[in-house]
Amino acid sequence: CLCNVFMQLSNTGTMIFHFHGMSSGGKTTHLQVGQSVSGVASDPSAGPATAILKWDATVVGLLAMFQQRTGIGICLDELGSLSSHDPLQFAYSVTGGQSRLRSNINGTCNRNQSSSAVCGLSSGEESFREMLERSKTGTKGGISVRLLDIEVTAEDAGLAGDSLEQTRRRVNGLKAASSQYYGTAMPAFIEALLNMPDVNTPDDLKRIFDSAREECLEWLISRSGLDNPPL
């Protein structure tokens, strides 16, 4: 989520990393830790006092939220709550960065000038590809580089030598800490970037992002099942 400060500088379009797997695999914990860098990160199942959103929303509503969260990031929980009959078009709309064209009484088109460039996190029991394959529209290859599926298993939460109880305590500790301490990492990160001796222009920040991006791609692609990295 910290990379959101670079999104517009790097001309990188909106992307969503979707963690999927069975219950109790740590999907929501991933979202809480990610959300904690910029805002309230309480478990969304515990009540409304959290910045983590549900997928159960209209396209217009999510587009507005993506625009508001540009530079900050967005976390979306429970993909299964998405009620759209056309999930493929829904996904293209929210990751496209711009609202759709609308005609007006003068015979010309209006478009909301606001746009979004967000790196988002998502969670759900099934992958987005599985949801698309069940829908009438099916899936297309282009969406796989906008919304990447990353499977999360219960084994991912454990460390070498950990017992199940030790893993449970550590995960619960992360969830509790994310609910109590949040919103400080991103401001501190931005301050540290601005205080770096070699950062004087936006291009300097872009080079830092490009370097870090290459380091992360190999791991992300290995978990997503894609043959080629997203451009």
Q: Give CA–CA dist 105/198, Å, rounded.
A: 52
Which residue, 120, 131, 30, is CA-closest to 80?
131
pLDDT digits (tens, 9 = 90+) for 143-154: 777 888 888 887
Which pLDDT score, from 0 to 100, does residue 172 have?
86
Average pLDDT over residues 87-91: 82
Q: pLDDT tens digit string along 25-45?
A: 788 888 999 999 999 999 888
DSSP string, 45-94: GG-S-SSPEES-S-HHHHHHHHHHTTTT-EEEE-GGG---S-HHHHHHHH
Global confidence as pTM: 0.79
Q: What is the pLDDT of residues 162-177, one digit of tens each?
A: 888 888 888 888 888 9
| Cα–Cα distance for residue pair 128/79, rounded to 1 Å | 8
Percent of the chain with pLDDT over 70: 84
Q: Is the pLDDT of residue 206 over 70?
A: yes
For residues 198-210, average pLDDT? 83
Higher-confidence position of 93 and 55 = 55
